[in-house]
Amino acid sequence: MTTLKVTDRDGRSHTLEAYKGSSVMESLRDEDMGIEAICGGQCACATCHCLLDEAWFEKLTPPGEDETELLESLDHYEAGRSRLTCQIIVSSQHEALELTIGPEE
């Protein structure tokens, strides 16, 4: 298990447990953090958008071309912070990953 530090849309902080090998989106959805994840993690809906702490953004594997295209189509896209949580697979490198649930589009 890995710990995630999540700020919800109301500004409340939560500490969640995430299974290694699962996506961050799955933990957020399971804990009812306001993530819809309509496409189920297929990188097609962007309803799992989050804003990462900037230091964390730099540490993660960069988003792929499909993810970047989808992110850039969002009204609330922030370069250097926005990620789709279905595209972040939890590993021990993500211990204490800090993120904020993206605003509703």
Chain positions contacting ligand FES, by CB under 6 A: 25, 37-39, 41-48, 84, 86
Distance CA 92, CA 82 (A): 21
> Residue 45 or 89: which CB sits closer to ligand FES?
45
Alpha helix (H) ranges present in the chain?
Answer: 24-30, 54-59, 65-72
Distance CA 28, CA 62 (A): 20
What is the smallest separation between the CB atom of 14 and ligand FES, expressed in angstroms? Answer: 19
In the bound complex, which residue of the shown chain has the CB atom lying closest to ligand FES?
Answer: 86
Residue 4 structure tokens:
């995630």
> Residue 16 or 45: which CB sits closer to ligand FES?
45
What is the smallest separation between the CB atom of 27 and ligand FES, expressed in angstroms? Answer: 13
Residue 88 structure tokens:
């972040």
> Residue 2 or 48: which CB sits closer to ligand FES?
48
Single out the residue of 14, 20, 61 nearest to residue 35, CA to CA.
14
What is the smallest separation between the CB atom of 91 and ligand FES, expressed in angstroms? Answer: 18
